[in-house]
């Protein structure tokens, strides 16, 4: 199931469970915690929490969602960050995420939304809190199917590694062609190839039809022969690549951050063409080179372009052999770009 990042009010999400960054006494606090209590109905949520309090740091408990769109609220106690004991803080924060996810599965939840736990008044550095969150969620999703959303109110609550962003920014500066500038749009080699192939097909259609209707001895060419000369279908090429990489279907759709049902549709329907973002996610999951990615995109009718910032960001990661779809999505989110994976 996919993991995504959104900038939204967590209290308004229609998911099975939302996570409250709670204190160990499960008392109504400020910030996200206060907003969740108010939206759920403070008195009734507090009464439910009082029956379960106190909990230890790193633990989580579950209550009804009451007036929230979500069925449940999972209350997870993250750590107060202490730099002198960073390893312990990381272990406790990771536990808060994993315990929340475990409770969600036990209560048959198919979707869950998290805030960035401990990154507010508890002082956990936002970039490190993000790394712990994505690592814990990624590890859990290897063995479980559940839609996970990380919710941030604004960019100030979200921080990607400055070193990584600096490298991506430099790559964008070097390769991105702003479409608003008065300059000709540059095409990648794959686009030139796609155009050349299209021109070739048009040229063939304009030639005398008899050449393509008859074989050398004058017998009509069968439909099967004509169809056999068409390009390999996308789904067939994908399955061939999965086999060549020695991977399983489950490994691929999880590494691609794709919904299992979507992957099944791609696999079983030879005529189905996935979205460009889905194709790129599959290329990342398969750890394809840029040339291999170009070929896979072309088979689905797409191409990378230096006139599209999303494409340039993705190209940076593939060109540098960085195939963590969650890390890519963090940078895409930072640049207000659509994320890889999902349900389409």
Q: Which residues contact 266 (CB under 8 A, 6 or more apart)?
A: 234, 235, 238, 272, 274, 278
Residues 10 and 120 in one domain: yes
Residues 201 and 91 in one domain: no
Q: What pLDDT does residue 66 have? A: 98
Residues 48 and 133 in one domain: yes
Residues 154 and 193 in one domain: no
Q: Which of 139, 159, 179 is the last residue of a domain?
A: 159
Q: What pLDDT does residue 152 have? A: 86
Question: Is residue 181 domain-resident?
Answer: no
Question: Is residue 302 domain-resident?
Answer: yes
Residues 124 and 217 in one domain: no
Residues 254 and 306 in one domain: yes
- The pLDDT profile of the chain, 344 residues, written as one tens digit per residue, is 589 999 999 999 999 999 999 999 999 999 899 999 999 999 999 999 999 999 999 999 999 999 999 999 999 999 999 989 999 999 999 999 999 999 999 999 999 999 999 998 999 999 899 999 999 999 999 999 999 999 987 666 577 878 888 999 999 999 998 654 434 444 455 455 554 554 554 444 444 433 333 344 344 444 344 333 346 788 989 999 999 999 999 999 999 999 999 999 998 888 888 999 999 999 999 999 999 999 999 989 999 999 999 999 999 999 999 999 999 999 999 999 999 987 66
Q: What pLDDT does residue 154 have? A: 64
Residues 119 and 216 in one domain: no
Q: What pLDDT does residue 277 have? A: 96
Residues 155 and 39 in one domain: yes
Question: Is residue 174 domain-resident?
Answer: no
Sheet arrangement for strand 17-22? 3-7, 147-152, 111-114, 17-22, 72-77, 60-64
Question: Is residue 314 domain-resident?
Answer: yes
Q: What pLDDT does residue 271 have? A: 84
Q: What pLDDT does residue 342 have? A: 77
Question: Is residue 57 domain-resident?
Answer: yes
Q: What pLDDT does residue 119 have? A: 92
Residues 149 and 195 in one domain: no
Residues 327 and 259 in one domain: yes
Question: Is residue 8 domain-resident?
Answer: yes
Q: What pLDDT does residue 2 have? A: 86
Q: Which of 159, 181, 210 is the last residue of a domain?
A: 159
Q: What pLDDT does residue 182 have? A: 39
Question: Is residue 197 domain-resident?
Answer: yes
Question: Is residue 173 domain-resident?
Answer: no
CATH number at residue 29: 3.40.220.10
Residues 141 and 222 in one domain: no
How many domains, the chain? 2
Residue-range definition of the domain harbouring residue 213? 189-334
Q: Which residues pair with 214 in a beta bridge?
A: 220
Residues 107 and 224 in one domain: no
């Amino acid at each position: 199931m996919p993991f995504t990042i959104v900038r939204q009010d967590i209290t308004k999400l229609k998911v099975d469970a939302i996570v409250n960054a709670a204190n160990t006494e499960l008392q109504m606090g400020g910030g996200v915690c206060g907003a969740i209590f108010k939206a759920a109905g403070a008195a009734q949520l507090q009464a439910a929490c009082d029956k379960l309090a106190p909990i230890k740091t790193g633990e989580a408990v579950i209550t009804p969602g009451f007036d929230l769109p979500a069925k449940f609220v999972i209350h997870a106690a993250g750590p107060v960050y202490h730099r002198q004991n960073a390893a312990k803080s990381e272990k406790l924060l990771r536990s808060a995420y994993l315990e929340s996810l475990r409770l969600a599965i036990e209560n048959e939840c198919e979707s869950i939304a998290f805030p960035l736990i401990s990154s507010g008044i508890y002082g956990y550095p936002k970039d490190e809190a993000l790394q712990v969150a994505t690592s814990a969620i990624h590890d859990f999703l290897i063995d479980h199917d559940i839609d996970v959303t990380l919710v941030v109110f604004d960019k100030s609550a979200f921080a990607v590694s400055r070193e990584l962003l600096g490298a991506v920014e430099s790559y964008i500066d070097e390769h991105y062609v702003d479409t608003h500038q008065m300059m000709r749009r540059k095409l990648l080699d794959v686009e030139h190839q796609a155009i050349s192939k299209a021109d070739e097909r048009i040229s063939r259609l304009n030639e005398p039809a008899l050449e393509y209707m008859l074989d050398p001895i004058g017998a009509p060419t069968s439909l099967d022969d004509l169809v056999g000369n068409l390009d390999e279908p996308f789904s067939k090429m994908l399955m061939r690549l999965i086999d060549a990489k020695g991977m399983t279907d489950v490994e691929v759709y999880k590494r691609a951050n794709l919904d299992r049902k979507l992957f099944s549709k791609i696999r079983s329907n030879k005529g189905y063409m996935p979205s460009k973002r889905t194709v790129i996610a599959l290329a990342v999951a398969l750890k394809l080179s840029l040339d291999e990615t170009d070929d896979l995109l072309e088979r689905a009718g797409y191409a990378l372009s230096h006139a599209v910032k999303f494409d340039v960001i993705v190209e940076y990661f593939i060109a540098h052999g960085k195939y963590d779809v969650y890390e890519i999505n963090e940078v895409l989110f930072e640049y207000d770009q659509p994320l890889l994976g999902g349900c389409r």
